[in-house]
Amino acid sequence: MKIEQAYTIVTSPGRNFVTLKIVTDQGEYGIGDATLNGREMAVVAYLEEHVIPTLIGRDPQRIEDIWHYLYRGAYWRRGPVTMSAIAAVDMALWDIKAKLAGMPLYQLLGGKSRDRVMVYGHATGRDIEACLEEVARHVDEGYKAVRVQAGVPGIASIYGVAKKDGEPYEPADSDLPAEHVWSTSKYLNHVPKLFAAVRERFGEDLHVLHDVHHRLTPIEAARLGKEVEPYHLFWLEDCVPAENQEAFGLIRQHTTTPLAVGEVFNSLYDAKALIENQWIDYIRATLTHAGGITHMRRIADLAGLYHVRTGFHGPTDLSPVCLGSAIHFDTWVPNFGIQEYMPHTSATDQVFPHDYRFEDGHFIVGETPGHGVDIDETLAKQYPYKRASLPVNRLEDGTLWHW
Ligand SMILES: O=C(O)C(=O)C[C@H](O)[C@H](O)CO
Ligand SMILES: [Mg+2]
């Protein structure tokens, strides 16, 4: 069996997505997600110019060999563009292999470790009251876990809070990067009040999460972790930028609030010290940005040795192809923690027909051979690419800060 054809499909049913389709000489095909929010066309160019020409004629069943061919063969290792491109190939090849085996992907990985996959949804509001209403809506819809982000008095626009209450949050919201203004002191004073209000209204059973989006220093993160301890967060996410992995050692010494990190990671080496030192509790890297199923499996296995569980990134800027594959992985992986879930637009769901379903705060994996997600290429053409950028963040004095 040989790879006969491979091509990228760029579509924007509400937001941009990049999909790689690989077709074999026996008519079987697989698809992979290559979406890198705000940098989509860089991955398209990488795939079209440097990857696809090398795939033609190869045996699609040699997933491991192709992974190392693309990783080692590039010489220039790692990085989000390279690893998203490799991930898309890897996901498409696992899709093909599972289809050839006549099995849903989770079976090929080792079978079910659980019957359903707990997810967390996003509640956002311009203030605490509006945010609590959104938490209540999620609870009514069956969610057992909710990420809680509220506007902060004195900060005009803040990460993770929708422009209008009740609407989904979209980070890439303008042609060129918007500029936000950030105040650490205002934020730090406000977050404990938010979680006090959440526990007061919803009691102890609801799992609550919070994303700091890399905006604190280690000692500030330690303060926040300590101050929210009484509210028993499921996790505190990305509390500092993680290039310096040792920073988490400092935070860890100060707080028992569980720590999650890794949505911008693209390789095991981004997380090695974090995992081996048990500085974190959840690893957030996911299939599309961390080299696909083949590499993510290595990360999860290492994490499992150190009591670190998975908590895959799952924003709307990863396509249903990534989400569907992630649900198979989550169903199999022994050290599963939780799966992030932001519902896609109905236009996106139509472009990407899929067999996973949401029920009672959980995803239920499908039984279709492969990863269970397809693409309607005719419909995809109706939604042309439109550049959209993530914002940047500045301190009140104008200093460029982390976003
Ligand atoms: O989903 C999350 O936790 C995020 O932090 C979302 C990211 O900002 C988003 O994926 C950037 O493209
Ligand atoms: Mg995040």
User: 150: part of which helix (H) or strand (E)?
Assistant: strand 145-150
Euclidean distance between CA atoms 260 and 207, whole angstroms: 14
pLDDT digits (tens, 9 = 90+) for 158-199: 888 888 877 778 889 899 999 999 999 999 999 999 999 999
Closest ligand (CA of 388): 1
- 3-state class of 163 per DSSP? coil
The per-residue pLDDT for 159 is 83
What pLDDT is recorded for position 367? 98
CA 378/CA 343 separation, integer angstroms:
23
Which ligand has the minimum distance to the alpha carbon of residue 262?
2
Side-chain-side CA neighbours of 80 within 13 Å: the count stands at 15
Catalytic residues: 159, 213
Does 240 score more than 80 pLDDT? yes
What's residue 266's pLDDT?
Answer: 98
Distance CA 56, CA 291 (A): 20
pLDDT at 245 over 80: yes
Pairing of strands 357-359, 117-125: unpaired
Ligand minimally distant from the alpha carbon of residue 124: 1
| pLDDT tens track for 344-392 | 999 999 999 999 999 999 999 999 999 999 999 999 999 999 999 999 9
User: Does 5 have pLDDT greater than 90?
Assistant: yes
In this predicted structure, the answer to whether residue 35 has a pLDDT above a threshold of 90 is yes
Tell me if 263 CB under 6 Å of ligand 1: yes
Q: Which atom of ligand 1 is the closest one to the Cα of 38?
A: 12
Predicted confidence at residue 296, as pLDDT, reads 98
Ligand 1, from 263, 264, 319, 322: best to mutate by most atoms within 8 Å of Cβ?
Answer: 263
Give start and end residues of each alpha helix (H) in 161-215: 184-202
171 in contact with ligand 1, CB cutoff 6 A? yes
pLDDT above 70: percentage of residues in the chain: 100
Identify the pLDDT of residue 164.
81
Q: Is the C-beta atom of 315 inside 6 A of ligand 1?
A: yes
Q: Whose CA is nearest to atom 6 of ligand 1?
A: 315
Q: Of 320, 336, 330, which Cα lies nearest the Cα of 364?
A: 330
Lowest mean pLDDT among 164-173, 203-212, 243-252: 164-173
ipTM over 0.90: yes
d(CA 267, CA 384): 31
Global confidence as pTM = 0.97
Residue 214 Cα to ligand 2 middle (Å): 9
Query: Rounded to whole angstroms, how far apart are CA atoms 108 and 328?
Result: 10
pLDDT at 58: 98
Q: pLDDT tens for residues 83-140?
A: 999 999 999 999 999 999 999 999 999 999 999 999 999 999 999 999 999 999 999 9
DSSP characters for 1-38?
--EEEEEEEEE-SSS-EEEEEEEETTS-EEEEE---TT
For residue 317 and ligand 1, the question of a CB distance below 6 A is answered with: yes
Residue nearest to atom 5 of ligand 1 (CA): 213
Matching residue, tokens 């192709």: 66
213 Cβ closer than 6 Å to some ligand 1 atom: yes
Contact (CB, 8 A) for 88 and 35: no
Strand order in the sheet with 29-33: 3-11, 17-24, 29-33
Name the 3-class secondary structure at 204: coil
Pocket test for ligand 1, best of 16, 161, 170, 313 (most atoms within 8 A of CB): 313
Cβ pair 401, 182 in contact under 8 A: yes
What count of other Cβ atoms lies within 10 Å of the Cβ of residue 49?
9
Q: Would you say the CB of residue 80 lies under 6 angstroms from ligand 1?
A: no
Give pairs for 362-365: CB < 8 Å, separation 24+. Answer: 362/116, 362/117, 362/118, 362/119, 362/144, 363/116, 363/117, 363/119, 363/327, 363/330, 363/339, 364/115, 364/116, 364/117, 365/104, 365/106, 365/112, 365/117, 365/327, 365/328, 365/331
Task: Find the distance separating the first CA and the last CA of the chain, reported in whole Å.
Answer: 45
H or E element in which residue 133 lies = helix 128-140
